[in-house]
Chain A
């Protein structure tokens, strides 16, 4: 048995395994950038990491603050602009991208714009940023949902998943055939999409989570894979990499913030 891990470490590893060697990868802010660094170090040394700010083919040395962070690497190989980062995606050069989720529906359509009314929002969320265009044209999209919700109907339709399910995405003629979300990661499990109906289902469950815990977050009768597996225990190598590369990620946002504030207090007294 390898050494004990944190939930966040388990999540980063699950995301990193979606990156295959030799792929072109668009990384989003937060968990995906640490996953990208892990994949590049352990599973996919020939992957080309990219960000929409035009930073292309970089090796992160520090966890990235955001998608325009050139301070966290020592140079990079190709400096282009945002316009070209999206046209290269449109032309099919991006294998996989990673997006965060505010709300997600049964077919992987996303809302990252608002809760409540669009014009007078209960909660104004960030907006599309690159999301709507990336999920449209990357070959695959991996969704990470740490604080978001499953809903019957999105408050605002920001980014297209499988539209009304079935063949509707392909039949719309708006997207490359076969593109769309392939996986959604939550704090409870890994979800995938049925190849025919395109409905999201639970494919893998994290240790110590019960199926009922997952189901209670989903407002419809969630389908469960007949061969439901448990997310594997991380290896020492994986845990060590994340803990050294991004200790705040290992700790999780709340604990990392608490520790940082405690340290600031200590310093100001010293």
Chain B
């Protein structure tokens, strides 16, 4: 690949270029390794009227909904801070009439993206949900939340969901090269499907690595370069959530967020300090260390437990052996060319 194919850019540029008002935006990460910095930048740029897809709409969705970026939410699971006495941005927005929510099960949500990823128009899901209010109670998708079709082979009723092809996916991974090959490992969840179903993909990563690192471990690449539009190197980019091999969940910062998220004023104060108050992730980490010291962050850095390398090697990488002879026909290049000439295969 040529060097001019580099897609490396700042988070600010990536979000401003690819995430626009009214877009369908999918959060690529599922529960872990949330693309926190990309989410914060969407908030800082004040995007409005988004339709958010999030498999587990917890931290990410609370921040986006709390900031007033979201008109519609497609999810399977939302956060509630502080138990029965607490609340959430989602609950507050539903009651204020500013947010519509379409509920699915984990599998159904993922199936919509899998259908989109493969270019299908719908996906069969597990029919048990026909018995539930998930099937009966519908929000903005109405008739198109689910449809029942007859299987042409067995004649049985099948529950289906429509494909989803969001306008843009934002996703955090462990590492990527500058071309956009994104490597992710751990809880695979629905990360690949969310990215590959989308029309545009913005990747943030803990580190940008040499292309050779990617080539020697392609089994870890979940999004190929040709699908990626932007690569942003953002160390600590998922804090307060965790990234396998880099850092654990930050119970302290997550706890601080949960303590504030229960009320609208609390969440606003938290965002004023940690989202609007920090222009990028480096500023956020600086502020963190200044306020609380570096002990928390140092304490959650991962110790190494490396994957055993998979050997992608082969017996040889040239048709010509160490003596310069072709491995099958035993000739040197000069002998080979002489033979081509003698047999009348060459034209002047």
Contact = CB atoms under 8 A, between A and B. Distances in A.
Contacts of B80: 123-126
Interface string A51-95: 111110000000001111111001100011111001000100000
A175 interface: yes
B193 to A, nearest CB: 7
B91 A124 contact: yes
Interface in B183-201: 185-190, 192-193
Nearest to B219: A79
A137 B79 contact: no
Contacts of A156: 133, 137
Contact of A83 (B79, B127, B193, B305): B193
Interface stretch (B102-110, B262-270, B281-289): B102-110
Interface string B93-118: 01101000001111110110010000
Nearest to A72: B248
Interface of A: 51-55, 65-71, 74-75, 79-83, 86, 90, 113, 118-121, 123-133, 135-137, 147, 156-160, 163, 172, 174-175, 264
A129 B137 contact: no
Contacts of A74: 305
A51 B178 CA distance: 33
Contact of A132 (B134, B185, B248, B252): B134
A158 B108 CA distance: 13
B94 A159 contact: no
B106 A133 contact: yes
A36 B8 CA distance: 43
Contacts of B242: 71
Contacts of A147: 83-84
Contacts of A133: 105-108, 126, 128-129
Which one of B55, B104, B126, B302 has the greatest number of beta carbons of chain A within 10 Å?
Answer: B126
Contacts of A129: 56, 76-77, 105-106
A124 B128 contact: no
Contact of A130 (B84, B107, B132): B107
Pick the 3 closest A-B CB pairs, nearest first.
A136-B128, A68-B187, A53-B187
B193 A81 contact: yes
11 contacts: A53-B30, A54-B188, A70-B32, A71-B302, A80-B188, A81-B110, A81-B189, A82-B106, A86-B106, A121-B91, A132-B128
A54 B186 CA distance: 8
Contacts of A136: 126, 128-129
B135 to A, nearest CB: 9
Contacts of B127: 174
Contacts of B95: 120-121
A241 to B, nearest CB: 23
A21 to B, nearest CB: 26
B109 to A, nearest CB: 9
A79 B186 CA distance: 7
A158 B30 CA distance: 21
B334 interface: no
B90 A124 contact: yes
B288 to A, nearest CB: 15
